[in-house]
């Protein structure tokens, strides 16, 4: 498979398509997951190229994948998100995002 050239984000931010960008996830300020793009099964450039075969990606689009070790149900005892919890996650050189748990979606 021929990989596409790096997208707009790769040209605007030097080093973004590197294979060794730190990733992390924190819940209420406590770090639960740490990882690196270096240990991903599918590298970022491959993911962008593959997904681009099926849909158009635009600057600012977010592609979500699996996460590094440390998920809540693997904790002892298992931990789950509650209403009001804050989840912060990020990738070095790309930025961070924050979500606040607000509750289940009403049916």
With H, G, I as helix, E, B as strand and everything else as coil, classify residue 75. coil
- CA end-to-end distance (rounded Å), the chain: 43
With H, G, I as helix, E, B as strand and everything else as coil, classify residue 28. coil
CATH class held by domain 8-100: alpha beta
Residue 62: which of 32, 30, 19, 99 has the closest Cα?
99
**pTM for the structure as a whole:** 0.68
Query: Does the structure show a pLDDT above 70 at 85?
Result: yes
Query: Does the structure show a pLDDT above 60 at 39?
Result: yes
CA angle centred on 44, ends 42 and 50, rounded to 5°? 75
User: What pLDDT, on the 0 to 100 scale, is given for residue 1?
Assistant: 35
- Is residue 86 very low, low, confident or very high in pLDDT (cuts 50, 70, 90)? very high
Cα–Cα distance between 98 and 6 in angstroms, integer?
26
Mean pLDDT on 6-19? 52
């Amino acid at each position: 498979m021929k990989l596409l050239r790096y997208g707009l984000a790769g040209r605007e931010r030097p080093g973004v398509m590197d294979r060794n960008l730190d990733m992390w996830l924190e819940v209420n300020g406590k770090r639960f997951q740490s990882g690196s793009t270096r240990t991903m099964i599918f590298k970022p450039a491959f993911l962008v190229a593959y997904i681009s075969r099926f849909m158009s990606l635009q600057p600012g689009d977010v592609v979500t994948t699996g996460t590094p070790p440390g998920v809540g149900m693997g904790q002892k005892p298992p931990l789950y998100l509650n209403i009001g919890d804050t989840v912060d996650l990020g990738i070095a050189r790309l930025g961070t995002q924050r979500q606040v748990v607000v509750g289940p979606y009403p049916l």
